[in-house]
Amino acid sequence: MLVDNWDDPEGYYRIILGEQLDGRYHVYANLGKGVFSAVVKARDSEDGDRDVAIKLIRNNDVMYKAGLKELSTLKKLAEADPDDKKHVVRLLRHFEHKNHLCLVFESLSMNLRDVLKKFGKDVGINIKAVRIYAQQLFLSLSLLKKCNILHSDIKPDNILVTENKSALKLCDLGSASDISENEITPYLVSRFYRAPEIMLGLTYDYALDIWSIGCTLYEMSTGKILFPGRSNNHMLRLIMDLKGKFPHKMLRRGQFTCEHFDDSLNFLQQETDKISGKDVVKTVTLIKPVKELKQRLLVGVNKLPEDEQWLMNQFVDLLDRMLHLSPERRLTVKEALTHPFISGSK
């Protein structure tokens, strides 16, 4: 192998199982690639063969810079949570390997997407488990807020679960930013978990992560994606089907509103004509909620034990508040942590 052939054409490090990184990490599994990096599992010979996950950032300037930003975000979060109580993944250390910035993390067994596939396919997991996970996610958000950080990519794939499934940790801070940055872009956050203010081009804040967690909790409970939109336009339609029309005040402030609504603020639905296959735009004047959360979540709830019935009703209330169309009216982290679903107070 040529010395300068460490990378594939996209700048990902070519991983060789069994190789040693930084003189101490023995790579034994390849966990796949993300936009920014390739991830491997390794054993740390300097720490009793402890399992670690190593993120090898792609070898180019943009990715390297993004990697450094993630590194400083992780350090800031760890300093603000010295006892590791706030459910954010721990960075152990970092090093450089053949022009790749490498971030070493504690190793957690699987992500929430895998857990849902394995244990809750199309049916979700028990509401009591959802409640424990929800509380831990809110604690992770409270730490982010304390550090003025938006995660901006919360979804089941970016939530890791411990071996015994009792605890989770928020991971992948590659898209995280300081609240002051607030760069308006219609594609921030993975589409199914993207808050409406992002798609409409409004300024955003901590409420965007609350929205993503709301979508994630629904998925935990049902095993189904809440808004499986094919595009931003389709996402907005699905959101209105659940929550009704957007407040006009909100639409008027959006930089991208004109892509989805006409001057009278009627929705411009983008569709593909079934016969011609051409893209067409249909003006939709009346949009009423078709199927509210109650109807989606409380089917057959009376067959459950009484305490779970109460929890399910509280869960619907919590989600309704987390998925408020107006970000300023959405539940805050502080309010979420004291909500009866989490606190258990009747």
Q: Of 106, 127, 153, which closes a domain? A: 106
Catalytic center residues: 153
Give residue-wise pLDDT tens across range 57-98.
999 999 999 999 999 999 999 999 999 999 999 999 999 999
Q: Are residues 116 and 99 in the same domain?
A: no
Q: Are residues 64 and 156 in the same domain?
A: no
What is the model's pLDDT at position 274? 84
Per the structure, the count of domains in the chain is 2
Query: Hey, what amino acid is at 98?
Result: K
Q: Are residues 214 and 86 in the same domain?
A: no
Q: Is residue 154 part of a domain?
A: yes
Boundaries of domain holding 261: 110-343
Q: Are residues 198 and 276 in the same domain?
A: yes
What is the model's pLDDT at position 4? 65
Q: Of 76, 106, 136, which closes a domain? A: 106
Q: Is residue 54 part of a domain?
A: yes
Ranges of beta strands (E only) in 201-331 are 267-272, 279-284
Q: Are residues 157 and 250 in the same domain?
A: yes
User: 8: helix, coil or strand?
Assistant: coil
Q: Are residues 126 and 89 in the same domain?
A: no
CB atoms within 10 A of CB 14: 12
Give residue-wise pLDDT tens across range 272-326.
888 888 888 999 987 888 888 999 999 888 898 999 999 999 999 999 999 999 9
Q: How confident is the model at residue 1 (pLDDT cuts 50, 70, 90)?
A: very low
Max avg pLDDT among 23-37, 281-295, 320-334? 320-334
Q: Is residue 5 part of a domain?
A: no
Q: Are residues 88 and 134 in the same domain?
A: no
> Do the annotations mark residue 55 as ligand-binding?
yes
∠ CA 52-55-60, nearest 5°, is 160
Q: Is residue 6 part of a domain?
A: no
Q: How confident is the model at residue 5 (pLDDT cuts 50, 70, 90)?
A: confident
Q: Is residue 38 part of a domain?
A: yes
Q: Which of 202, 278, 281 is nearest to 234 (CA)?
A: 281
DSSP secondary-structure letter at 193?
G
The four Cα atoms 225, 272, 324, 337 give a dihedral, to 10 degrees, of 20
User: 72: helix, coil or strand?
Assistant: helix
Q: Are 89 and 171 in contact (CB under 8 A)?
A: yes
* Average pLDDT of the residues in 108-133: 91
Q: Are residues 38 and 162 in the same domain?
A: no
Q: Is residue 8 part of a domain?
A: no
Rounded Cα gap, residues 241 and 291, in angstroms: 7
Tokens describing residue 23: 């003189």
Q: Are residues 32 and 175 in the same domain?
A: no
Q: Which of 48, 57, 49 is nearest to 174 (CA)?
A: 57
Task: Give the domain CATH number at 67.
Answer: 3.30.200.20
* Bridge partners (DSSP) listed for residue 91: 105
What is the model's pLDDT at position 288? 82
Task: Give the domain CATH number at 153.
Answer: 1.10.510.10
Kindly report the average pLDDT of the chain as a whole number.
94
Q: Are residues 72 and 153 in the same domain?
A: no
Q: Are residues 100 and 114 in the same domain?
A: no
Q: Is residue 14 part of a domain?
A: no
Q: Is residue 12 part of a domain?
A: no
Look at the block and give the residue holding tokens 């809110």. 138
Look at the block and give the residue holding tokens 């199309």. 122
Q: Of 71, 106, 141, which closes a domain? A: 106
Q: Are residues 200 and 231 in the same domain?
A: yes
Tokens describing residue 336: 């979420």
